[in-house]
């Protein structure tokens, strides 16, 4: 009798859990309905204890070819790239090839003497005070900037926003320079280093740092912006060719492997992960409460980062204590997905 009651209670618990998950999936589909149909879409992954509760695409990855978005669709990650650039620096620190407190001028000596006290550690946490390269671009620029263009512009200006280490200001310039440091310290190109040290070991087989003229992106999503009620392809702009701050393409399937690696030492040591996930600076000038680690924002129990470039809006939000992750990648200029990801997570018990 006792065994029968136990069996019935287990069945009821399983049925209740399945019903709750079904309700959460229906609620998530409602939250994602703007991405569905013949419009630029999104790919969504909800992971709990390493298992996908939702793994699907909505809408279209390519309007012109009418290609559906799927879990294998590769999106330009934009600033979600920064956590990979930070990981590359941490790997080189583990290798003894560089130190986090190295001056940026040790590796990039063309920079002005005024940057002599700016360290790699400060660039990782956006506290270096470097001028935004977007603000240094000549008004008549017609060609896409590359990383060496950014280095040349920064080398020609002695200005800074503040003394290094005294304040926070989000800096694409800093992460472009960090990507160049990876090359100088490793002797490899940035795409090759990321491929050999991160993507291949984790079997992120369809992820790459895209460079024009290099390997093409498979299952590529193209970016779109809504203009006067119609969708226009806006896949690249003048700042879409820089690398360390935003150039990686990846899918939710490959990012699931990245998420898994952040729970153990298969890629980064425990000490390196603690550095990445520790608050080094209080975020200011952004519309949310957060601290900044190395390539990660930290809000309460969440580790997260958004990515925004012309035609793409992405976010990864992790609740490590709950072993829950939501990844939402989209090939459109709106809506900003962070709040949607938080609402989706609530359906699956995030708190």
Give me the active site residues, please.
79
Under 8 Å between Cβ of 324 and 350: yes
SS3 32: coil
Nearest to 282 by CA among 293, 297, 292: 292
Helix (H) or strand (E) holding 154: helix 147-155
The token pair at 6 is 């136990």
Distance CA 227, CA 54 (A): 31
114-139 in b/e burial notation, b at 16+ Cβ within 10 A? bbeebbbbbbbbbbbbbbebeebeee
CA dihedral 63, 67, 68, 69 (to 10 degrees): -80
How far apart, in whole angstroms, are the C-alpha atoms of residue 290 and residue 306? 12
Pairing of strands 208-209, 224-227: unpaired
The token duo for 238 is 């003048």
Annotate 46-78 with three-state secondary structure: EEECCEEEEEEEECEEECCCCEECCCCCEEECH
CA distances from 58 to 43, 218, 311 (A): 6, 18, 16
Contact 120, 332 (CB under 8 A): no
Q: Please tell me the distance from the alpha carbon of residue 33 to that of residue 276, in angstroms, as a whole number.
A: 34
């Amino acid at each position: 009798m006792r065994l029968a009651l136990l069996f019935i209670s287990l069945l009821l618990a399983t049925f209740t859990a399945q019903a709750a998950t079904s309700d959460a999936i229906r609620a998530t589909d409602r939250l994602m309905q703007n991405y569905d149909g013949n419009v630029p879409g999104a790919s969504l992954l909800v992971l709990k204890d390493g298992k996908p509760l939702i793994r699907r695409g909505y809408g279209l990855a390519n309007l012109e070819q009418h290609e559906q978005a799927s879990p294998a669709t590769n999106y330009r990650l934009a600033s979600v790239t920064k956590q990979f650039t930070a990981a590359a620096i941490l790997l080189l620190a583990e290798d003894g090839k560089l130190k986090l407190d190295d001056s940026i001028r040790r590796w990039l000596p063309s920079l002005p003497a005024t940057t002599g006290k700016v360290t790699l550690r400060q660039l990782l946490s956006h506290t270096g005070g470097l001028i935004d390269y977007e603000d240094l671009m000549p008004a008549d620029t017609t060609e896409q900037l590359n990383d060496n263009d950014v280095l040349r512009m920064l080398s020609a200006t002695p200005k800074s926003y503040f003394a290094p280490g005294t304040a926070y200001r989000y800096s694409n310039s800093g992460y472009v320079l960090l990507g160049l440091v990876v090359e100088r310290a490793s002797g490899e190109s940035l795409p090759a280093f990321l491929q050999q040290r991160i993507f291949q070991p984790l079997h992120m087989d369809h992820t790459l740092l895209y460079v024009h003229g290099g390997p093409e992106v498979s299952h590529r999503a193209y970016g779109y912006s809504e203009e006067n009620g119609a969708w226009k392809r806006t896949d690249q702009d003048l700042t879409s060719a820089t690398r360390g701050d935003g150039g990686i393409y990846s899918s939710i399937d490959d990012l699931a492997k990245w998420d898994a690696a952040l729970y153990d030492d298969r890629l980064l040591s425990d000490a390196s992960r603690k550095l990445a996930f520790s608050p080094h600076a209080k975020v200011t000038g952004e519309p949310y409460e957060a601290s900044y680690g190395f390539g990660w924002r930290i809000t309460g129990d969440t580790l997260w980062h958004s990515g925004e470039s012309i035609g793409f809006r992405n976010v990864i939000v992790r609740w490590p204590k709950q072993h829950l992750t939501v990844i939402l990648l989209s090939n459109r200029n709106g809506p900003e997905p962070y709040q949607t990801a938080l609402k989706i997570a609530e359906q699956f018990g995030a708190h």
